[in-house]
Amino acid sequence: MKALIPILIIFSFFMLNCSELNQEKKELTKNETNDALKGDIVLERNPLWGQVSSIKEQVFTLEEKFGEYKRIGEVTTFTYKFNENVNLVEMVERTRDEYGSNYGSFKTTFKYNDLKKLIEENYFELSGRFINKTIYKYDEIGNLIEEKRYNADGDLSNKRTYKYKNKGREVKGVSISPTWPDGNSYRKFTCKYNNKGLLIEEKEYNTKGNLSETTTYKYNDFDETGNWIKQSVFINDKPRKIIEREIKYSN
């Protein structure tokens, strides 16, 4: 039996702004490590199928060399753990440089309400130091309409609001970061999803309303259960990331 699962799919060095939770499909959440909007490790919302028990995901950065895009040495690995209800409960992130040395290790924990809706994320260094907390709010039919991020001191560092149309396949949102300098704190973004609930396009607009960046997502390979296992990410039509993942099932 197919199950829709709120799970995090990671993209490094991108500013993803989309999230969707509609009455048909549950999508994911993103994390930021700084007090405003995190730029190097973000989690986006996508549906999962089947009784997933764990996922290991690797993010490879691409750079242009002599007219060709190739992987550089840095690799970020994410490991996801799920509970018996197939809700994501823990994510661990580790980054390895081109020489094989680890730098930057973090953990995110997740809390849900009685309706299995994600209501809280807590982000830590693996050493235990608390970094930030994100709280989620939904409308009466289960759409995510607001998320607030607080820094370690308890101050609001980012607030996002969301609106939906076309049965949730198109999302518009506003992001406000009170801690950012004037002129950089207010941004708008739009997202589009395909008929499987997978994010396929994201556009970000600056404070003047001009398009500043377009990110597109292509799904290259799927496993037998129907979950994607390889994804390509493009920014302004240039390839920037390849994401590969191994998915384990409990049955």
Q: What is the CATH number of the domain that holds 131?
A: 2.40.160
Cα 71 to Cα 26, 106, 237, 240, 241: the distances in Å are 32, 23, 17, 9, 8
Q: Domain range for residue 98? A: 7-249
Residue with tokens 């048909």: 24
pLDDT per residue rounded down to tens, the chain (251 residues)? 444 443 333 332 223 345 333 323 333 333 332 222 222 222 345 678 888 999 999 999 898 888 888 888 778 999 999 888 778 999 999 988 776 677 789 999 999 998 888 999 999 999 999 999 999 999 988 888 999 999 999 999 888 898 888 766 678 888 877 655 454 566 788 989 888 889 999 999 987 889 999 999 999 999 999 999 999 999 999 999 999 999 999 87
Q: Are 95 and 74 in contact (CB under 8 A)?
A: yes
Residue 1 lies in a domain: no
Residue 69 lies in a domain: yes
Residue with tokens 């309400």: 113
Number of domains composing the chain: 1
Amino acid at 52: V
Residue 2 lies in a domain: no
Residue 221 lies in a domain: yes
Shortest CA distance to 199 belongs to which of 39, 62, 14? 14
CA-CA-CA-CA torsion sign (112, 116, 119, 123): positive
Residue 83 lies in a domain: yes
Q: Are 107 and 90 in contact (CB under 8 A)?
A: yes
Residue 190 lies in a domain: yes
Residue 16 lies in a domain: yes
Residue 99 lies in a domain: yes
Tell me how far apart the alpha carbons of residues 62 and 234 are, in angstroms, rounded to a whole number.
Answer: 10
Tell me how far apart the alpha carbons of residues 146 and 175 are, in angstroms, rounded to a whole number.
Answer: 10
pTM, two decimals, is 0.73
